[in-house]
Chains A and B, each alone.
Chain A
Amino acid sequence: AQSVTQPDIHITVSEGASLELRCNYSYGATPYLFWYVQSPGQGLQLLLKYFSGDTLVQGIKGFEAEFKRSQSSFNLRIPSVHWSDAAEYFCAVGFLSGSARQLTFGSGTQLTVLP
């Protein structure tokens, strides 16, 4: 069965710092990978996705993530954290269920940004 692990439950950084949020997945086939962000009081917004091709993917707000098959990872990098980046971040893997893709989510990483 597929699974997603986000080892960091809560991270606190200062504004302007760079940051990497970790995501490891377990899936027996080619994974489709996603990062979503949930800002306070908001729904989940898709940040970026990996389907195939270039293993370094760019998303909104300058975020990027790198797929590393050998490490079963899809870590999210934020080059310079802004106060507005404080949110909960979810990694997800898309897996085949019948003919359709479903999602399995990690437990999330809560990001706090200090001024």
Chain B
Amino acid sequence: DADVTQTPRNRITKTGKRIMLECSQTKGHDRMYWYRQDPGLGLRLIYYSFDVKDINKGEISDGYSVSRQAQAKFSLSLESAIPNQTALYFCATSDSSGDRTGKNIQYFGAGTRLSVL
């Protein structure tokens, strides 16, 4: 089984709908991240969470919200989806113990491909 699991893998929705993307991990990491990938733009950080009570906005948080339900679960919501939120979304995790050495490594899920019509 994958260490970082994203559900669903694919989703098609309509403009204005609320949608939630879910991420769960079995790596025991305390940090979790949400990125979106657009062609030619690489990955951009939406939100990140250093623990259950610590949630931070990333580079492109407008139009998104998140919830860290438990250490192992981090969900991303689009309250009212719009077509320019069509993208590939990735969840990632890392372990804060890497801070002491600076050797943080992020591990990624397989992605959720979202289309907003």
Q: Write out the residue numbers on chain A whose beta carbons fall within 8 Å of the beta carbon of B109.
A: 43
Q: Assess whether A43 is in contact with B104, with CB atoms less than 8 Å apart.
A: no
B12 adjacent to chain A (CB < 8 Å): no
- A41 — nearest CB in chain B belongs to which residue? B110
Q: Write out the residue numbers on chain B whose beta carbons fall within 8 Å of the beta carbon of A102.
A: 45, 48
Q: Write out the residue numbers on chain A whose beta carbons fall within 8 Å of the beta carbon of B60.
A: none
Q: Assess whether A94 is in contact with B104, with CB atoms less than 8 Å apart.
A: yes
Which stretch of A14-22, A55-63, A74-82, A105-113 is in the interface? A105-113
- Which residue in B42, B101, B102 is a CB contact (below 8 Å) of A107? B42
Given known contacts A100-B99, A101-B102, A90 and B42 CB-to-CB distance under 8 angstroms? yes
Given known contacts A43-B4, A43-B111, A44-B90, A103 and B106 CB-to-CB distance under 8 angstroms? yes
Which one of A4, A43, A105, A107 has the greatest number of beta carbons of chain B within 10 Å?
A43
Q: Assess whether B103 is in contact with A32, with CB atoms less than 8 Å apart.
A: yes
State how many angstroms separate the Cβ of B43 from the closest Cβ of chain A: 4
Given contacts A41-B110, A51-B102, 15 further A-B contacts (CB under 8 A): A4-B42, A6-B42, A32-B102, A32-B103, A32-B104, A42-B110, A43-B110, A45-B108, A46-B107, A94-B102, A99-B99, A103-B43, A103-B45, A105-B42, A107-B40
Q: How many angstroms from the CA of A32 to the CA of B8 in the assembled complex?
A: 32
In which size bucket is the chain A interface? 20 to 34
In which size bucket is the chain B interface? 20 to 34
- Which residue in B42, B99, B106 is a CB contact (below 8 Å) of A108? B42
State how many angstroms separate the Cβ of B101 from the closest Cβ of chain A: 8
Q: B86-112: contact bitstring with A at CB < 8 Å (1 yes, 0 no)?
A: 000010100010110111111111110
B50 adjacent to chain A (CB < 8 Å): yes
Q: Assess whether A105 is in contact with B105, with CB atoms less than 8 Å apart.
A: no
Q: Write out the residue numbers on chain B whose beta carbons fall within 8 Å of the beta carbon of A46.
A: 105, 107
Q: B15-40: contact bitstring with A at CB < 8 Å (1 yes, 0 no)?
A: 00000000000000001000000001
- Which residue in A9, A49, A100, A101 is a CB contact (below 8 Å) of B40? A9
Q: How many angstroms from the CA of A19 to the CA of B114 in the assembled complex?
A: 33
